[in-house]
């Protein structure tokens, strides 16, 4: 199945942004041990940022830090459960104490499992909301209080293509919709401190997260392009590029926005059939991209 991924590595991240764009800045990327977060961490580091890669599994974080270091960037690993309020506060305080400020926060961490609403337990629902909404709120609040209210900064939150509901993942859809509203509220309340808060809503992206679903999802994943007007899956670099723009000086008058990155999949309806094929080239900027096993 064609995904648009480069099958051979090139030398360094091929970002569309100028060298040194984030030089002298500290960027925190949650969920940075794999998938989209790993890609964002690489691009920010390639553009000069010191990247703090956050996640729950130290070995995955250290592997990403090693990749970034090998590519000439600066990164450090921070093992953390973003749902733990005390741990989040202590971690943010430590990063600010060591680096002086946090200039960028990418709230990318998240997770869910496929299930119809009638089978989701209270515990399962709350676990997904805690990861996809509450944990992001805790990071936003602590980063603002410890750094951004004094120095300004930019935050990008991760949503999903949930604008027409999320059948089969209602817990995640509810949490992501909550994060969309939280993004707008924070953008309004924190604008006085020169803090911008935006969000991205990716559709189906060819990333390692696809391999976390049970085997029953494999044929569904492999047939996803039938419902995308561009007739392909998105790439991690296409999400990362949008995030980097929202963090950049070029977006200094953009706040409270949600940017869809879904190839048009949330547009139209079944009454207007899609053409058999579309010509939509991909942006293959991530030199260390990996094809998910489910798409091989």
Q: What is the pLDDT at residue 10?
A: 56
Predicted local confidence at residue 5, as pLDDT: 44
Full-model pTM: 0.92
| Candidate ranges 103-117, 142-156, 164-178; pick with highest mean pLDDT | 142-156
pLDDT of residue 284 exceeding 80, the answer is yes
Q: Specify the pLDDT at position 108.
A: 96
Q: Once rounded to an integer, what is the mean pLDDT over residues 119-145? A: 96
pLDDT of residue 170: 84
Domain ranges of the chain: 26-263
pLDDT digits (tens, 9 = 90+) for 45-82: 999 999 999 999 999 999 999 999 999 999 999 999 99
Intra-chain end-to-end CA distance of the chain, in Å: 7
104 vs 112 pLDDT, higher one: 104
| Architecture of the domain whose range is 26-263 | 3-Layer(aba) Sandwich (3.40)
| Predicted confidence (pLDDT) per residue in 135-164, tens digit | 999 999 999 999 999 999 999 999 998 888
């Amino acid at each position: 199945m064609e995904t648009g991924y480069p099958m051979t590595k090139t030398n360094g991240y091929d970002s569309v942004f100028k060298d040194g764009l984030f030089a002298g800045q500290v960027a925190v990327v949650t969920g940075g041990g794999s998938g989209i977060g790993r890609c964002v961490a690489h691009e920010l580091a390639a553009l000069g940022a010191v990247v703090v890669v956050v996640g729950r599994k130290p070995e995955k974080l250290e592997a990403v830090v090693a990749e970034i270091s090998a590519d000439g960037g600066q990164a450090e690993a921070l093992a953390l459960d973003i749902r733990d309020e005390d741990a989040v506060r202590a971690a943010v305080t430590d990063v600010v104490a060591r680096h002086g400020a946090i200039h960028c926060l990418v709230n990318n961490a998240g997770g869910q499992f496929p299930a119809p609403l009638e089978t989701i337990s209270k515990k399962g629902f709350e676990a997904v909301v805690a990861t996809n909404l509450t944990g992001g709120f805790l990071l936003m609040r602590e980063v603002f209080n410890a750094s951004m209210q004094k120095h300004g900064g930019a935050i990008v939150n991760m949503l999903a293509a949930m604008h027409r509901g999320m059948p089969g993942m209602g817990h995640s859809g509810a949490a992501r919709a909550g994060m969309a509203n939280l993004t707008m509220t924070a953008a309004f309340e924190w604008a006085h401190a020169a803090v911008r808060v935006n969000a991205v809503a990716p559709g189906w992206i060819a990333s390692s997260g696809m391999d976390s679903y049970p085997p029953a999802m494999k044929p569904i994943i492999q047939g996803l392009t039938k419902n995308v007007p561009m007739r392909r899956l998105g790439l991690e670099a296409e999400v990362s590029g949008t995030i980097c723009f929202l963090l950049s000086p070029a977006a200094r008058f953009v706040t409270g926005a949600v940017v869809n990155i879904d190839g048009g999949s949330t547009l139209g309806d079944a009454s207007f059939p899609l053409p058999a094929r579309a010509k939509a080239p991909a942006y293959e900027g991530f030199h260390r991209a990996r094809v998910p096993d489910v798409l091989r």
